[in-house]
C-alpha cells in the first residue's frame, strides 16, 4: 500500500512538472522512461495486455466504453466526433484504474476538414516544404478535435498504376519518395514529438505493399532483396531518420511471409538496422489475418507470432487476437512478460511524449476556429496550384484569355462533383465549401463569359467500394441506354455551340484508393467516346484530368491541344484549376511517375536497368514504342526554361569524397514561373548492374522572365551507395558516373565524373 502511494506520488509530480513545459519542449528520454517505468510498476498483466489493443470503432457503444473504463484498450481509431472523443477520454482518465489516457488514431491522409490534394498530387509539386505545411495543417485540425495519431504518410513505392493505392503515395521513385516522406513526418509531428498542434505520424504500410501482384490490392508481393533495399525501403528509412514515431505493418505476404508476422522486416530491419524506437501498429485486422494467410494455425498463434515479429499494438475491428491470446501465451511460456512490457513501453512513451497525461482533452472552445481557419483554405488552394502538371499545350492555347470566349461549355461527369474533387480518404470535409471545377470557373469568370455544364456520361465501378458507407457515397440510378445517348448528345451539342470546351475527365473518387485497383487504364465508361466526340465538334478543347493514377491518354495526347493534370485537387480545387487555366498562376508540377501509353507497358518506371540493348526500340515491343507517353519528372509551363553550363567541381574523386554539380537555369519565356531542376545519375559499371538513370537531386525554383539562377547539387557517398545483389551488402563502387540535369528524366544535358579505387 505504502509502495503504491509513493509511486503514485512520483507519477503525479512528474505529471505536474511536465505541465510547466508541456507544450514548449520535448521531454527528455530519461523523464519519459522514468514515467513509463513508474506506470509499468503498477500495472497488472491484464492492463499491460490491454494497452496493446487498438479498436476500430465508428462510434462508441456500451462494450467499448466498458473496455475503456476497465483499462483493456490502449487506443481507438476512427472516432472523430469531438464530443464522443472527449467522453471516451474522460472514461479512460477518470474511470480506469491507472488513469492512462487513450490515444485516438485516424486516417488523416491529405487533410482533415481542409482537404488537400491527394498525396500523389502533393508529390507532383516536387516541393517538400509544401508537404510539410499541408500536413502541419492536417495535424492541427485533427488535434483540435482530440485525434493525436495520423495513419500517414503512406510510403509505398508504386510502379503498377493498376494498384489503386498509388494515389496515397509519392509514386514510383525512392528518392522523391524519401524527400516527401521526411517532409510529411515534419509536418505531422512538428519539431519534436509532442509539439503543440501536432500529432504522432505513422509510416505505412511496412513494407512492399505497392508491389501487389497484378496491381490487385492485398495480393502478395514478391520483391527481390536488391529491389527491397534500393527501391521499396528507402522512403521508410528516410521517415525513420526524420524521427517518425510509429509504423504500420502491411497486410500482404512479402515473399511468402506476411508483413505483420515478418520478423525480418519489423525487427531486424526496422529496429536493429535502423534503430527505430517508436511503436509498430498492425494494419486493420492484420494480426488475425495471419490465420487467413495460412501462416498461423489459429488466433492464439497469430497473436504470438505477430508479437514475436515486432508488432506492439494490434488494430482490429472487434476483440483483438492480442486480447484473446497473449495472457494464455504468457502462461504457457510462448512469450515473456518482458516482451509485453517492451511493447507497452513504446506505446506509453508515445502517450507521454504527446503530452496526453497532462492534456488528455482537446480544448472544445478552439475547434470551430481551427477547423474554419481561412488561412488553411488558402494554403490548400496554393497546394492544388503547385501540384498541377501541364501535360500538353499546343500553340499556347493556355493560359486562356479572359473575355476571349463568350460561351464556355464545361463538360464531364467530374466537372461539378464535389466528392470527386476531393478524392479518396476524405471523410471530414465540409462538402458545402468544396469548390468544383465548374464552380471555380464561374467565380473566376463572373459575368465575362456564359458558362454551361453537361456531364455527358455517367461512370461507375462494376463492384462497389466498401468505402461508400463511410464517405456517404450514394449511387444515382444508372442511366438507361437511351438516356446515355441523350446526355452524350447534349454535351456534344453544347460543345459545338460554345466558343471553348473545358472537359473534365478521369475517375470517381472511389476508383482510386484502397480496394480500388483495376485491370485497365482506359478512361472509365464512355469517357473516351465523349472526349473524341467533343474534339470532333471542332472548337478548342482543354482537358482537365481528375485522377490518382495515369490513364490512357494516347489519343488525347495527340489531338487535344491542352491537357492539365490536376489530380483530386481538394477543397479549393476548382478555384485552383480556374486560376491555372486563366494564368493567374503558372503550372510547375512534374509527374511523380512515368505515364504509360497503355496498360500493357506496365511496369515502365524510368529507373530500369541498362540491359544488353539499352536504346534499341526494335528489340522491344513491335507494336508500341517502349518509351512512356510522358516521362517521369515531366511537366510543362506557360514559360520556357533553358538549362546550360552543367559542370562538376571535380572530375575524379575517391569513394569517400563528394563533389558538386552545378547547372544554370534561365527563364527564356513569357512570365514568372517555376521550374524543377532534376539531377539524374548513372553508374556505368560495378559490382552489380545499375539503373539507366536515377534521380539524385531536385530543386523547384522560381524565375522571373530572363532571370538566370545557378542550382547546385551535392553528390556524396550517400547518393552513390546501393545494395548490391552480388556482394549482398551496401557498396560504393569505383566507377564512371554519368550525370544529366534538366526538366525531366529524359534530360540530355550531360557530364560525367570518375570515382577511383
Ligand atoms: C488501411 C490503412 C488504414 C487502416 C485504418 C486499412 O484498411 O490499409 O491504410 O490506415 O485501414 O483505417
**pTM exceeds cut of 0.85:** yes
b/e burial code for range 523-546 (CB count within 10 A of at least 16 → b): bbbbbbebbebbbebebbbbbbbb
Task: Decide if pLDDT at 20 tops 50.
Answer: no
b/e burial code for range 117-132 (CB count within 10 A of at least 16 → b): bbbbbbbbbbbbebbb
4-8, 231-235, 352-356, 386-390: the lowest-pLDDT one: 4-8
Q: How confident is the model at residue 25 (pLDDT cuts 50, 70, 90)?
A: confident
Residue 80: DSSP 8-state: -
Residues whose CB is less than 8 angstroms from the CB of residue 680 and which lie 6 or more positions away in sequence, other chains included: 693, 694, 695, 696, 739, 740, 741, 745, 747
Closest CA to 190 of 151, 146, 138, 124: 138
Q: Ligand 1 centre and the CA of 282: distance in Å?
A: 9
- The predicted model gives 334-361 an average pLDDT of 97
Percent of the chain with pLDDT over 90: 93
- CB of 267 closer than 8 Å to CB of 310: yes
d(CA 398, CA 422): 24
pLDDT tens-digit profile of 187-198? 999 999 999 999
- The predicted model gives 123-140 an average pLDDT of 98
Residue closest via CA to ligand 1's atom 2 equals 283
Q: How confident is the model at residue 60 (pLDDT cuts 50, 70, 90)?
A: confident
d(CA 409, CA 494): 6
pLDDT of residue 469: 82
Closest CA to 357 of 595, 125, 12, 9: 12
Residue closest via CA to ligand 1's atom 6 equals 284
pLDDT of residue 688: 98
DSSP alpha helix (H) spans, 91-127: 119-124
pLDDT tens-digit profile of 420-429? 999 999 999 9
pLDDT tens-digit profile of 261-288? 999 999 999 999 999 999 999 999 999 9
Task: Decide if pLDDT at 21 tops 70.
Answer: no
Torsion angle, CA of 598/177/699/657, rounded to 10 degrees?
-120
Cα of 586 vs its chain's centroid, Å: 24
Neighbours of 30 (CB within 10 A): 8
pLDDT tens-digit profile of 390-407? 999 999 999 999 999 999
Task: Decide if pLDDT at 220 tops 70.
Answer: yes
Closest CA to 698 of 735, 640, 745: 745
Grid coordinates standing for 329? 501465451
Q: Ligand 1 centre and the CA of 294: distance in Å?
A: 21
d(CA 743, CA 676): 6
Selecting among 253, 283, 471, 733, the annotated active-site residue is 283
- The predicted model gives 534-553 an average pLDDT of 98
Task: Decide if pLDDT at 14 tops 70.
Answer: no
pLDDT tens-digit profile of 63-106? 999 999 999 999 999 999 999 999 999 999 999 999 999 999 99
Determine if ligand 1 sits within 6 Å of the CB of residue 674: no
pLDDT tens-digit profile of 309-337? 999 999 999 889 999 999 999 999 999 99
Half-sphere exposure of 219 (CA within 13 A, CB side): 16
d(CA 702, CA 557): 27
- CB of 211 closer than 8 Å to CB of 704: no
d(CA 53, CA 297): 21
Atom of ligand 1 nearest to the CA of 205: 9
Q: How confident is the model at residue 7 (pLDDT cuts 50, 70, 90)?
A: very low
d(CA 563, CA 548): 15
DSSP alpha helix (H) spans, 201-255: 225-227, 234-241
Determine if ligand 1 sits within 6 Å of the CB of residue 209: no
pLDDT tens-digit profile of 686-727? 999 999 999 999 999 999 999 999 999 999 999 999 999 999
Task: Decide if pLDDT at 15 tops 60.
Answer: no
Q: Ligand 1 centre and the CA of 284: distance in Å?
A: 6
Q: Ligand 1 centre and the CA of 675: distance in Å?
A: 35
Let me know if 616 is a catalytic residue.
Answer: no
Determine if ligand 1 sits within 6 Å of the CB of residue 514: yes
Task: Decide if pLDDT at 9 tops 50.
Answer: no
| Number of residues assigned to the chain | 757
d(CA 394, CA 348): 58
- The predicted model gives 749-756 an average pLDDT of 98
Residue 75: DSSP 8-state: E
How is the chain split among helix, strand and coil, in percent rounded to 5?
40, 20, 45
Percent of the chain with pLDDT over 70: 97
Residue closest via CA to ligand 1's atom 10 equals 151
Task: Decide if pLDDT at 445 tops 80.
Answer: yes
The phi and psi torsions of 280 (rounded to 5 degrees) equal -110, 125
Q: Ligand 1 centre and the CA of 590: distance in Å?
A: 28
Residues whose CB is less than 8 angstroms from the CB of residue 445 and which lie 6 or more positions away in sequence, other chains included: 402, 408, 451, 578, 582
pLDDT of residue 24: 58
Atom of ligand 1 nearest to the CA of 78: 12
Q: For residue 122, give the 3-state DSSP assignment.
A: helix
Task: Decide if pLDDT at 17 tops 60.
Answer: no
- The predicted model gives 660-681 an average pLDDT of 98
Mutate to test the pocket of ligand 1, among 514, 516, 517 (most ligand atoms within 8 A of CB): 514
Q: Ligand 1 centre and the CA of 493: distance in Å?
A: 44
d(CA 9, CA 15): 10
Q: How confident is the model at residue 143 (pLDDT cuts 50, 70, 90)?
A: very high
Burial class (CB in 10 A: 0-12, 13-18, 19+), 569: buried
Determine if ligand 1 sits within 6 Å of the CB of residue 151: yes
Mutate to test the pocket of ligand 1, among 56, 77, 151 (most ligand atoms within 8 A of CB): 151
Q: Residue 209 to residues 78, 449, 581, 684: CA-CA distances in angstroms?
A: 22, 48, 36, 31
Determine if ligand 1 sits within 6 Å of the CB of residue 204: yes
Closest CA to 386 of 597, 566, 177, 141: 566
- CB of 54 closer than 8 Å to CB of 106: no
- The predicted model gives 7-16 an average pLDDT of 42
Amino acid at each position: 500500500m505504502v509502495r503504491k502511494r509513493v509511486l503514485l506520488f512520483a507519477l503525479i509530480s512528474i505529471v505536474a512538472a511536465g505541465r510547466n513545459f508541456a507544450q514548449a519542449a520535448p521531454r527528455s528520454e530519461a523523464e519519459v522512461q522514468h514515467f513509463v517505468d513508474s506506470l509499468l510498476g503498477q500495472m497488472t498483466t491484464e492492463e499491460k495486455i490491454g494497452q496493446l489493443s487498438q479498436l476500430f470503432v465508428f462510434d462508441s457503444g456500451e462494450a467499448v466504453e466498458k473496455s475503456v473504463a476497465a483499462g483493456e484498450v490502449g487506443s481507438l481509431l476512427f472516432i472523430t466526433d469531438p464530443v464522443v472523443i472527449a467522453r471516451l477520454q474522460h472514461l479512460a482518465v477518470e474511470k480506469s484504474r491507472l488513469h492512462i489516457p487513450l490515444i485516438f488514431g485516424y486516417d488523416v491522409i491529405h487533410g482533415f476538414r481542409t482537404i488537400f490534394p491527394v498525396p500523389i498530387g502533393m508529390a507532383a509539386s516536387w516541393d517538400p516544404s509544401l508537404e510539410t505545411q499541408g500536413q502541419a495543417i492536417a495535424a492541427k485540425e485533427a488535434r483540435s478535435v482530440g485525434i493525436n495519431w495520423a495513419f500517414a504518410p503512406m510510403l509505398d513505392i508504386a510502379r503498377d498504376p493498376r494498384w489503386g493505392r498509388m494515389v496515397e503515395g509519392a509514386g514510383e521513385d525512392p528518392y522523391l519518395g524519401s524527400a516527401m516522406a521526411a517532409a510529411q513526418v515534419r509536418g505531422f509531428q512538428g519539431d519534436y514529438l509532442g509539439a503543440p498542434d501536432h500529432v504522432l505520424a505513422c509510416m505505412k504500410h511496412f513494407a512492399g505493399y505497392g508491389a501487389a501482384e497484378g496491381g490487385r490490392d492485398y495480393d502478395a508481393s514478391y520483391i527481390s532483396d536488391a529491389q527491397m533495399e534500393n527501391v521499396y525501403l528507402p522512403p521508410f528509412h528516410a521517415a525513420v531518420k526524420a524521427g517518425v514515431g510509429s509504423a504500420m505493418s502491411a497486410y500482404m505476404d512479402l515473399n511468402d511471409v506476411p508483413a505483420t508476422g515478418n520478423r525480418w522486416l519489423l525487427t531486424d530491419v526496422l529496429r536493429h538496422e535502423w534503430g527505430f524506437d517508436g511503436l509498430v501498429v498492425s494494419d486493420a485486422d492484420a494480426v488475425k489475418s495471419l490465420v487467413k494467410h495460412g501462416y498461423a494455425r489459429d488466433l492464439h498463434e497469430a497473436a504470438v507470432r505477430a508479437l514475436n515479429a515486432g508488432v506492439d499494438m494490434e488494430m482490429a475491428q472487434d476483440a483483438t487476437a492480442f486480447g484473446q491470446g497473449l495472457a494464455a501465451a504468457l502462461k504457457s511460456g510462448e512469450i515473456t512478460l518482458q516482451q509485453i512490457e517492451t511493447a507497452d513501453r513504446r506505446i506509453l512513451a508515445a502517450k507521454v511524449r504527446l503530452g496526453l497525461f497532462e492534456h488528455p482533452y482537446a480544448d472544445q472552445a478552439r475547434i470551430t476556429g481551427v477547423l474554419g481557419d481561412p488561412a488553411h483554405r488558402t494554403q490548400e488552394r496554393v497546394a492544388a496550384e503547385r501540384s498541377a502538371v501541364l501535360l500538353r499545350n499546343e500553340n499556347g492555347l493556355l493560359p486562356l484569355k479572359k473575355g476571349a470566349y463568350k460561351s464556355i461549355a464545361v463538360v464531364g461527369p467530374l466537372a461539378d462533383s464535389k466528392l470527386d474533387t476531393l478524392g479518396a480518404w476524405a471523410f471530414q470535409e465540409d462538402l458545402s465549401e468544396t469548390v468544383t471545377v465548374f464552380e471555380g470557373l464561374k467565380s473566376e469568370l463572373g459575368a465575362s463569359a456564359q458558362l454551361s455544364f453537361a456531364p455527358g456520361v455517367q461512370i461507375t465501378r462494376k463492384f462497389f467500394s466498401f468505402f461508400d458507407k463511410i464517405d456517404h457515397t450514394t449511387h444515382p440510378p444508372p442511366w438507361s441506354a437511351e438516356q446515355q445517348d441523350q446526355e452524350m448528345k447534349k454535351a456534344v451539342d453544347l460543345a459545338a455551340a460554345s466558343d471553348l470546351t473545358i472537359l473534365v475527365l478521369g475517375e470517381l473518387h472511389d476508383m482510386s484508393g484502397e480496394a480500388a485497383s483495376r485491370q485497365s487504364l482506359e478512361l472509365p465508361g464512355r469517357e473516351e467516346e465523349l472526349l473524341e466526340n467533343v474534339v470532333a465538334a471542332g472548337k478548342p478543347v482543354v482537358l482537365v484530368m481528375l485522377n490518382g493514377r495515369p490513364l490512357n491518354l494516347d489519343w488525347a495526347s495527340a489531338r487535344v491541344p491542352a491537357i492539365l493534370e490536376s489530380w483530386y485537387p481538394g477543397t479549393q480545387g476548382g478555384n485552383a484549376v480556374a486560376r491555372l487555366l486563366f494564368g493567374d498562376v503558372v503550372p510547375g508540377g512534374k509527374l511523380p511517375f512515368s505515364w504509360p501509353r497503355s496498360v500493357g507497358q506496365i511496369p515502365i518506371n524510368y529507373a530500369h536497368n541498362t540491359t544488353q540493348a539499352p536504346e534499341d526500340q526494335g528489340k522491344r515491343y513491335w507494336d508500341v514504342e517502349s518509351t512512356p507517353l510522358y516521362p517521369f519528372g515531366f511537366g510543362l509551363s506557360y514559360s520556357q526554361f533553358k538549362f546550360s553550363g552543367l559542370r562538376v567541381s571535380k572530375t575524379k574523386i575517391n569513394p569517400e569524397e563528394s563533389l558538386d554539380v552545378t547547372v544554370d537555369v534561365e527563364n527564356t519565356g513569357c512570365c514568372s514561373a517555376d521550374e524543377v531542376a532534376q539531377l539524374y545519375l548513372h553508374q556505368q559499371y560495378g559490382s552489380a548492374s545499375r539503373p539507366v538513370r536515377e534521380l539524385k537531386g531536385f530543386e523547384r525554383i522560381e524565375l522571373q522572365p530572363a532571370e538566370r539562377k545557378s542550382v547546385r547539387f551535392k553528390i556524396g557517398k550517400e547518393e552513390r551507395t546501393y545494395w548490391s545483389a552480388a556482394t549482398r551488402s551496401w557498396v560504393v563502387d569505383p566507377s564512371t558516373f554519368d550525370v544529366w540535369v534538366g526538366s525531366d528524366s529524359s534530360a540530355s544535358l550531360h557530364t560525367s565524373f570518375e570515382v577511383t579505387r
